[in-house]
Structure 1
Amino acid sequence: MTVYLTFPVAMFWISNPDDWFESCVIQHKRELWPPEKEGQHQELEEFKERIWKQQE
């Protein structure tokens, strides 16, 4: 039973290094979804207001 439980834990520990996750996955996520800029939210709100005024 000990070998049965030790094998999956050992394989997870060997094949899942944190540095790989940090360097590849987190970096790729930041490239796909960059953080929002300060004025970006304000520009969106102004655009919505212009559209609402045009529709009225």
Structure 2
Amino acid sequence: MGGWHLEIGKMALYMTFPVALFHIFNQPAYFEEWVTKTKRDIYPPDSESHRKELEDAIKMIRAKQEEKQMKAFEEIENKRKH
């Protein structure tokens, strides 16, 4: 058999290898570019035209909802009068 020297060498390798890989691959420099690229893909910077389109869509939806509410109120008023 290999003896205690081999066992100590294997134990050192078993303990050092994962710790070394963790240290090497968890450096912020490796992830900084990837994180910023992914963040920009998911949350693109606001553009003025995109913001205006969203605001117009919101206004249009609110106007439709208010119109439906006004029709419902008018129907209720008409029923009360009769």
| TM-score of the aligned structures, taking structure 2 as reference length | 0.42
1:11 equivalent among 15, 21, 26:
21
Higher-Rg structure is: 2
Cα RMSD after superposing both structures: 3.2
Q: Are 2:51 and 1:40 equivalent residues in the alignment?
A: yes
Secondary structure at the aligned position of 1:20 is classed as helix
Partner of 1:51: 64
* Corresponding letter in the other structure for 2:63: R
User: Aligned pairs, how many?
Assistant: 54
Moved more, 28-37 or 38-47: 38-47
% identity of equivalent residues? 33
Amino acid at match of 2:31: F
- Which runs of no fewer than 5 residues in structure 1 stay unpaired? none
